[in-house]
Structure 1
Amino acid sequence: MLSALARTLPHFRNTNSGQFFLMAGPCVIEGEDMALRIAERIKHITDKLQIPYIFKGSYRKANRSRRDSFTGIGDEAALRILEKVGREIGVPTVTDIHESPEAAEAAQAVDVLQIPAFLCRQTDLLLAAAQTGKVVNIKKGQFLSGEAMQWAVDKVKSAGNEHVILTERGNSFGYSELVVDFRNLPIMRQFGVPVVMDVTHSLQQPNQASGITGGQPALIETIAKAAIAVGADGLFIETHPTPATALSDGANMLPLDQLEGLLQRLTRVREAVRPAGDVALHGLDA
């Protein structure tokens, strides 16, 4: 597999259109055929719209409320599928890691290592991800301000890795709601790294009595439009052909057949607000 710089950065650079980029895919890898079909479909859409695309899929879900919740098909099998998606569909891939020893193993299969929001302050985890040389996408904790994410960026860069992305995913509001403070996007952008809006996770309704997270998918377009309007470099959207049958986080995912129309509308918003000469991804140019 080619290095993160060789494979990933060309997809980030889109100086001709100044377009946002997209991280999208299922919440968790459910099987090879589904992953390939989803990736191929999104690649077709994003190629048509000239949107740089990174396939997203968790190889294991560690942060589940209930003991009997689906966590994955097995680490080795899921990582093999992610590697195959990258190779056969020809797109960069991203997956999340939860413990330091996972970094090196996952880095053999994907181009971007993602740090979950609730782990964004874990120094050892950040350093382990940084030391792989892969791009590191850090989700902002639901309990943190945008300003506080400077220290997470500094940890990754202290290991000699300059390739960092920050992702906003809302802040806890009470016990079972999240709200998005859109000030965090320009605040985090000041750190010289690309900033992404995690559209679907920001619409979760965690800590439900059933032990299964709820969501508000009807507001996906609202959050995405607002993020593009205030200058997000990228969007993170979990999508599935049939969210009702998804094995994880179906309550807040976008139906795959709605993605193209949404992206078409978002490209018009981006064009309307993009300053002349702007470049989509600041901070990752070699």
Structure 2
Amino acid sequence: MKDFLKELFAGQQYNENNFFLIAGPCVVESETLVMDIAKKVFEICKRLQIPYTFKASYRKANRTSGDSFTGIGDEEAMQLLKKVKEKFSIPVTTDIHTAEEAAVAAQYVDVLQIPAFLCRQTDLLLAAARTGKIVNVKKGQFVSGEAMKFASNKIIKAGNDKVILTERGNSFGYTDLIVDYRNIPIMKNHGVPVVMDCTHSLQQPNQSSGVTGGNPQMIETVAKAAIATGADGLFIETHPDPSCALSDGANMLKLDLLEELLKKLIAVRKAVL
């Protein structure tokens, strides 16, 4: 495990041979939801000795419809991320969309996430790098794993070698995605940890309804394949009732299913080590 990841998870007891997990709701919906999900996932990961980072977007800037929910307010949402960090002594992450957001979000979170469709935005990558935080760049739906070396190199050349790359599928027609698992070892060859986004890779974007669809029944398949092909970590958005989620509910994992899935993935990890 990279030194910066060991430092990130220093406050947790875990099996270093395990994959790490980034998980939480798509967006901060309320204090009750955020704290309940964080508590349950934290307890599961503690039992299974999986290093854990809590994830929730403080604001959703990338919505299909102008009528879609974007957030409860930036400051309130960021304060809740900070509360999760302090209550459970775990790292937290959120995504940023502009260079100006980087320094602000860095005051609250441990990992800055760059959305897939912004992975080529040089000013955003450099601003994230300058915060000194870990920067997790999601691979664009239009980008190869090989080309992601340019994204990671921008951050490293800015003086920050704490980079993670995340695979989240490639566009397949107008309303579907497909995962090319060659991208996992290819991106690992860039010398950075690689994460598989097991939920966004199952999105069905650009629906005529204005609401993104998904195939959550395939989350286990995607996750198993990712572990088998060498992913260092997994990204899974989860919610107690995805049908009621205010963002990306169509591709989320129901929270009650998480623990059994993780147990299966630990078995896969042991088999391929």
Q: Give your verdict on TM over 0.5.
A: yes
Distance 1:155 1:144 in 2: 16
What is the SS of the residue equivalent to 2:271? helix
Q: How does 1:238-257 map to 2 (within 5 A)?
A: 238-257=237-256
Which one-letter code corresponds to 1:206 in the other structure? P
- Which residue of 2 is the match for residue 205 of structure 1? 204
Distance 1:70 1:17 in 2: 38
Q: How does 1:103-122 map to 2 (within 5 A)?
A: 103-122=102-121
Distance 2:221 2:37 in 1: 23
Distance 1:151 1:11 in 2: 32
Distance 2:151 2:30 in 1: 33
1:77 aligns with 2:72: no
Which one-letter code corresponds to 2:137 in the other structure? I
1:86 aligns with 2:85: yes
Deviations 1:55-112 (CA, angstroms, capped at 9, x unpaired): 0000000000100100000000000000110010111001000000000000000000
- Which residue of 1 is the match for residue 97 of structure 2? 98
* 8 Å Cα contact 1:130-1:160 kept in structure 2: yes
Distance 2:23 2:106 in 1: 19
* 8 Å Cα contact 1:7-1:111 kept in structure 2: no
Which one-letter code corresponds to 2:197 in the other structure? D
- Which residue of 2 is the match for residue 185 of structure 1? 184
1:172 aligns with 2:171: yes
Distance 1:98 1:17 in 2: 32
Which consecutive aligned stretches of 4+ in structure 1 deviate over 2 angstroms post-superposition? 4-7, 9-14
* 8 Å Cα contact 1:244-1:250 kept in structure 2: yes
Distance 1:71 1:29 in 2: 9
Which one-letter code corresponds to 2:158 in the other structure? A
Deviation at 1:158, TM superposition (A): 1.2
Higher RCO by CA contacts (8 Å cutoff, separation 6 or greater)? 1
Distance 2:249 2:194 in 1: 25
* 8 Å Cα contact 2:112-2:134 kept in structure 1: yes
Q: Normalised by the size of structure 2, how large is the TM-score? A: 0.96
Deviation at 1:8, TM superposition (A): 1.4
Q: How does 1:20-35 map to 2 (within 5 A)?
A: 20-35=19-34
The 1:268/1:11 distance shift into structure 2, 3 A limit, reads: farther
* 8 Å Cα contact 2:11-2:89 kept in structure 1: no
- Which residue of 1 is the match for residue 8 of structure 2? 8
Q: Normalised by the size of structure 1, how large is the TM-score? A: 0.92
1:52 aligns with 2:19: no
- Which residue of 2 is the match for residue 195 of structure 1? 194
What is the SS of the residue equivalent to 1:188? helix
Deviation at 1:11, TM superposition (A): 6.3
Distance 1:34 1:142 in 2: 29
- Give structure 1 stretches of 5+ with no counterpart: 275-286
User: Over aligned residue pairs, what C-alpha RMSD do you find?
Assistant: 1.5
* 8 Å Cα contact 1:180-1:202 kept in structure 2: yes
Which one-letter code corresponds to 1:268 in the other structure? A
- Which residue of 2 is the match for residue 235 of structure 1? 234
Which one-letter code corresponds to 2:225 in the other structure? A
Which one-letter code corresponds to 1:106 in the other structure? A
- Give structure 2 stretches of 5+ with no counterpart: none
Deviation at 1:34, TM superposition (A): 1.1
- Which residue of 2 is the match for residue 283 of structure 1? none
What is the SS of the residue equivalent to 1:10? coil
The 1:268/1:244 distance shift into structure 2, 3 A limit, reads: same
Q: How does 1:90-169 map to 2 (within 5 A)?
A: 90-169=89-168
The 1:269/1:6 distance shift into structure 2, 3 A limit, reads: closer
How many residues are treated as equivalent by the alignment?
Answer: 270
The 1:160/1:11 distance shift into structure 2, 3 A limit, reads: farther
Distance 1:10 1:122 in 2: 31
What is the SS of the residue equivalent to 2:99? coil
- Which residue of 2 is the match for residue 267 of structure 1? 266
Deviation at 1:159, TM superposition (A): 1.2
* 8 Å Cα contact 1:237-1:254 kept in structure 2: yes
* 8 Å Cα contact 1:11-1:52 kept in structure 2: no
